[in-house]
Amino acid sequence: MKKFLFYLLVLALAPAAVLVVITPMDSQKQYIFGLISIGILFLMGFSKKRSISVIMVVMSILMSTRYMYFRVTQTLHFNSEIETILGMGLFLAEVYIWIMLLLNYLQTIWPLKREIVPLPEDMNQWPTVDVYIPTYNESLDVVRDTVLAAQCIDYPKDKMKIYILDDGKRREFAVFAADVGVGYITRNEHSHAKAGNLNHAMKLTHGELITVFDCDHVATRIFLQATVGGFLTDPKLALVQTPHYFYSPDPFERNLSVGRNIPNEGQLFYGPIQQGNDNWNATFFCGSCAVIRRSALEEIGGFAVETVTEDAHTALKMQRLGWKSAFLDIPLAAGLATERLVLHVIQRTRWARGMTQIFRVDNPLFGRGLTIQQRLCYLSAMMYYQFALPRIAFLTAPLAYLLFNLNIIYSSASLVFAYALPHLFLAIYLNSRMNGRHRYSFWGEIYDLVLAFHLVLPTAVTMLFPKRGKFNVTDKGALLNVGYFDFRVVRPHLVVAILLAIAVIWGLVRAFAHDHFGVDPKVIALNVFWGLYSLIFLLAAIAVARETRQTRKTIRIDVKIPVLIHYASGISSRSETLDLSMGGCRIVAPDERHLNDEIEEVELLLQSGAISIPVTTMGVDGEFIRLKFAEDIPLSRRRELVRVVLSRADAWINPPKPQDNPFRSMLTIMRCVFDLFWLTWKTRRENRRQRALLNASPEDGSL
């Protein structure tokens, strides 16, 4: 009955919605209509109810569709072939953005906040689990703690088996597996990369459930107890995915001055988007930190091997056969983010190729087994990675008029602005309201612009030839002793930035002398504003290429644990840690004894017992002591250290970021641009000073 009333209401309101979209207005009336719409939006914004958000989404869709109708009916008239090509290119880019806006609303309007399904008290009913840790060329330093963390998972040992899947066939990995007591699986041929490695392991193991961890993802102790319960209550549940949480900073967080104060790039996906997908039974498998039912995998022939994104394709195949999926929005494992911008680009290029391959070889819009909502959720993910050309079209569009006097939008500046303002304002405001703790306004443009120039060719080639390309492994765990600016990654960005700067300057000249040039100052002003807007985001994207030093091998985590400090003299003192890592710790200095007496060992005092670790003093920081752990501690002791540092149940539970404010977010981006110029000038000044010192001779008194 409720569904019938809903459809009846939609049918009744449809004529009014059509009138909102198609009613033409001059610029003055459209301004008034747009401002009234924005005012209503602000008034509704005082309420935080989900039903109000739904009404606001409908308003945003209507205003955006009205703008697109205006573009179709009034602006697609051109005077030359080049204007037609450029103008239609810009229009198609806007069509893409409009479609993505609709799909994004579908995914995020009603997120499902799933809770943990408890396991039965009788452990005999708990299913058996195989834990897979695939690796290819990563160092043992990266993989070691992942394996030890898996051994710390609180689950019956007779029901959980851990396997290192070593596609590199390295002797030190086999020895390590034997030393810690886990399985070791390798193979003679290496077809289908990670998916082939996982499928080979499936033939040799027999657990009812399979858990996959990338070799740098360390699990918390409660990982299986938090994720396995649903498989017992729902026999059709095939997948439980948890967030990919990264305890090391990504290139945006590390290289931008304000990077640590904003939600990282992945939080939008591993938050509202996956929760929204879950509401429509369209949760994606993300390759790691997930539990999968073996029988569901066997029914589809194992992990998908047709594309380089075997994870999402595997979930799609299972859902086609009626299997269910779930997303549990609790960080139960953590890994290493990409350390360099160039590695970030390589990783995202593989994702873009993989999603494009799925679009070509197993398009979710076609075939049997999926609901409409599932098809649209997958379509959103696949279409997202086609953003490169639309982003570049928006970025460079002002150049057409400012440099070449080409009119690619056939309309007055005031009319374009009157229609575009409510369309853009409502979309920005609503996304800030719905997703503002997971993605700050305008930051998505920076994330996309960093990648745009690098994704154009791979996505185009893959769209034409979907079987080209190969799986590439993302390097993790590297260090950087000297900071540098990665010109290779942002070379095309620099070229376009220079062109935009020239265009803006030339546009200002034409605006001040508009009588001489015979141009409309309003059109010039619109394009100059557009050019400046594009330039700000482009410069912020360029700023990410300033790679900062990274000399700390292990990431420190804020945690307070009681410790005993053992001095060489035999005396001990009580204190507590401020932070811990797998390589050392920082502790509060209880007194001044450490200035005269060498510290030989620290003892971490835990509820489960104490861990004694030999240490070396690295320095004294005011009231604190920095200590380095010995590297050759026994594996049993290192396992306990992993349990303390990385595998605590609450290790990755952090308070959410403050709610987004679009104006503050814009100012933050402008600060990134300012810091780029400031740091560049400061570095050049320091380099000149160093060269002067090197060239100076002792005789001239300079030294």
Q: Which helix (H) or strand (E) holds 567?
A: strand 562-567
CB 67 within 8 A of CB 351: no
CB 214 within 8 A of CB 134: yes
**Which 3 state secondary structure label does DSSP give 63?**
helix
Identify the DSSP state of 581: -
Q: Which residues pair with 629 in a beta bridge?
A: 615
Phi-psi region of 636 (alpha: psi -120 to 50; beta: other; left: phi over 0): alpha
Q: How far apart are CA 515 and CA 530, in angstroms?
A: 22
What tokens were used for 570? 């035999």
**Which 3 state secondary structure label does DSSP give 166?**
strand
**Catalytically annotated residues:** 167, 311
What tokens were used for 206? 């027999």
**For the purposes of burial, counting CB atoms within 10 Å of the CB of 601, is it exposed (0-12), middle (13-18) or buried (19 or more)?**
middle
Identify the DSSP state of 126: S
What tokens were used for 183? 């399985």
CB 504 within 8 A of CB 528: yes
Q: Where are the beta strands (DSSP E) in 167-319?
A: 183-185, 209-212, 218-219, 237-241, 245-246, 290-293
CB 89 within 8 A of CB 400: no
State the maximum Cα–Cα separation within the chain, in Å, rounded to a whole number: 96
CB 208 within 8 A of CB 127: yes
CB 222 within 8 A of CB 235: no
Nearest to 394 by CA among 97, 663, 67: 97
**Which 3 state secondary structure label does DSSP give 547?**
strand
Q: How far apart are CA 642 and CA 453, in angstroms?
A: 41
| Buried/exposed 479-501: b ≥16 CB within 10 Å, e otherwise | eeeeeebbeebbeebeebbebbe
Task: Give 529-579 as a DSSP string.
Answer: HHHHHHHHHHHHHHHTTEEPPB--SS--EE---EEEEEETTS-EEEEEEEE
Q: How far apart are CA 599 and CA 613, in angstroms?
A: 11
Q: Which residues pair with 104 in a beta bridge?
A: none
Q: Checking DSSP bridges between strand 557-558 and strand 572-580, what pairing results, if any?
A: antiparallel
Backbone angles phi, psi at 288, to 5 degrees: -160, 165
CB 323 within 8 A of CB 239: yes
CB 380 within 8 A of CB 104: yes
Nearest to 303 by CA among 232, 230, 234, 203: 203
Identify the DSSP state of 273: I
Q: How far apart are CA 315 and CA 312, in angstroms?
A: 5
Neighbours of 518 (CB within 10 A): 9
Q: How far apart are CA 216 and CA 147, in angstroms?
A: 9
